[in-house]
Amino acid sequence: AEPRPIAMVTTLNGYACQRRTPLQHHNAVLTDALLVLAEKAEFSENEGRSVALRAASVLKALPHTVINMENLQGLPCLGEHSQRVIKEILEDGKSREVEAALHSEQYQAMKALTGIFGVGVKTADRWFREGLRHPSDVASSGHRLNHTQQAGIQHYDDLNMPVTKAEADAIGQIVKEAVQAVLPGAEIILTGGFRRGKPTGHDVDFLITHPEEGKEEGLMPKVVSWLEARGLLLYQKTNRNSYLEATEGSARPPNNMDRFERSFSIFRLDMPGAGPERHPQAALLEQAQDDSSVGGRRVGESWDWKAVRVDLVVTPFSQFAFALLGWTGSQLFERELRRWAGQEKHMSLSSHALYDSKQKRYLRASCEEEIFAHLGLEFIPPCERNA
């Protein structure tokens, strides 16, 4: 008898939070293409974004490489458009729509302009219509920029360079020192993509809490002052906690938006081994420049410091598990958790709390496992939340 080929048909659940999605997967060629289409849709602010994101996410969770259209049988979230793109790539090695997007002036300009910290799709689109294509065009256009955008342009190259895990750990040491100095006993936890096991990121995300509820109040301005006094911040914008104001008089918190005391910042990370003492040229360069705050100063192949985006979030201990789950991502995994909670469980999940609409009460949790259990979901560890 002839050996029968193994039928590569896998069934997957419809919500990303019901699936295990590792960082390394088997369908990068297809997901890269779909993610370009998601980006293209985002740039023209249409619904296609989440459709393409969900389709890519399903392929990321597959335990095998898709080699023919039969492999897609039984899979959720793959609409007519996604299937057409996948078919084209399986047959021709590439998709015309994706190639056209990648080569279009609009896609390239929107990518470059939204790559400026502080610039969203709306602003980038307005600038594109005015003929601007690149951050350097913006700088010379005479447009009034807010402080965030000014910092974004000033540190454009550094901020578009991936942050490594080693750099994230170095920033973690600094934040830990700052937090310990202003509030002994406070704890910091690395979240975001690095907690999911990513080797690089676009920023570094930290949660800060204290085991004694209430001790964390007012912590952020002190941490920021400590860092500023040492010249470690190139930019920061702190939002105070508005959680209680927002919930006063209403039964439940508004969904999605989180209201922690938080700081979006840009750190100045000194690069060990590339300082002026190892590179005498750097000291000379520094003397020659009157504005030493412009970009990381390259010295040959290395530089002595680098601008790195950092998100700091302070959470009361009672909300810590929800904040940890909410800030670990991925963004699609988070969106799917909230969709699952609302549509399947009549619950409302935020980074602060979980509200059960049937029981009309908040469900407590002191760790992520308890939140998954409340939601009737199998626990998915951070490294498998790369949806």
Of 125, 158, 203, 304, the active-site residue reads 203
125 tagged catalytic:
no
- Are β-strands 204-209 and 305-314 bridged in parallel, bridged antiparallel, or unpaired? parallel
- To which residue do tokens 């296609």 refer? 48
Residue 179 CB neighbour total at 10 angstroms: 25
User: What is the footprint of ligand TTP within residues 308-337 (CB under 6 A)?
Assistant: 326-327, 329-331, 334
Q: Which stretch binds Mn ion (CB under 5 A): 185-193, 212-220, 337-345, 355-363?
A: 185-193
Q: Does 192 bind Mn ion (CB under 5 A)?
A: yes
Q: Does 356 bind Mn ion (CB under 5 A)?
A: no
Identify which of residues 121 and 283 has a Cβ nearer to Mn ion in the complex: 121
Over the range 214-233, which residues count as b (16 or more CB within 10 Å of their CB) and which as e?
ebbeebbeebbebbeeeebb
Write down the least CB distance from residue 302 to ligand TTP, Å: 23
Residue 269 vs residues 6, 184, 308, 334: alpha-carbon distances, Å: 52, 24, 7, 30
Sole binder of ligand TTP in the list 60, 145, 171, 193 (CB under 6 A): 193
Q: Which stretch binds Mn ion (CB under 5 A): 47-55, 190-198, 312-320, 378-386?
A: 190-198
User: What is the footprint of ligand TTP within residues 346-385 (CB under 6 A)?
Assistant: 351
With contacts defined by CB under 6 A, how many residues of the chain interact with ligand TTP?
Answer: 15
205 tagged catalytic:
yes
The rounded distance, in Å, linking the Cα atoms of 231 and 225 is: 10
Residue 149 vs residues 118, 202, 228, 355: alpha-carbon distances, Å: 5, 17, 20, 37
Identify which of residues 327 and 340 has a Cβ nearer to ligand TTP in the complex: 327
- Copy the structure tokens of residue 7: 């039928």
The rounded distance, in Å, linking the Cα atoms of 206 and 184 is: 17
Identify which of residues 86 and 110 has a Cβ nearer to ligand TTP in the complex: 110
Angle in degrees, CA 154, 157, 160, rounded to 5 = 115
* Helix pair 48-60, 80-92: axis angle to 10 deg: 50
User: What is the footprint of Mn ion within residues 202-241 (CB under 5 A)?
Assistant: 202-203, 205
Sole binder of Mn ion in the list 88, 97, 311, 384 (CB under 5 A): 311
Identify which of residues 27 and 386 has a Cβ nearer to ligand TTP in the complex: 386
Write down the least CB distance from residue 106 to ligand TTP, Å: 23
DSSP state of 353: -
Is residue 19 within 8 Å of 10, Cβ to Cβ? no
Identify which of residues 19 and 279 has a Cβ nearer to ligand TTP in the complex: 19
290 tagged catalytic:
no
Write down the least CB distance from residue 194 to ligand TTP, Å: 7
Write down the least CB distance from residue 231 to Mn ion, Å: 23
Phi, psi dihedral angles at 247 (to 5 degrees): -95, -15
The rounded distance, in Å, linking the Cα atoms of 292 and 152 is: 16
Write down the least CB distance from residue 45 to ligand TTP, Å: 18
Write down the least CB distance from residue 327 to Mn ion, Å: 8
User: What is the footprint of ligand TTP within residues 196-255 (CB under 6 A)?
Assistant: 198, 201-203, 205
Identify which of residues 71 and 241 has a Cβ nearer to ligand TTP in the complex: 241
- To which residue do tokens 């840009």 refer? 266
Q: How many residues does the chain have?
A: 387
176 Cβ partners below 8 Å, 6+ apart? 188
Q: Which residues bind ligand TTP (CB under 6 A)?
A: 192-193, 198, 201-203, 205, 258, 326-327, 329-331, 334, 351
Please list the active-site residues. Answer: 203, 205, 311
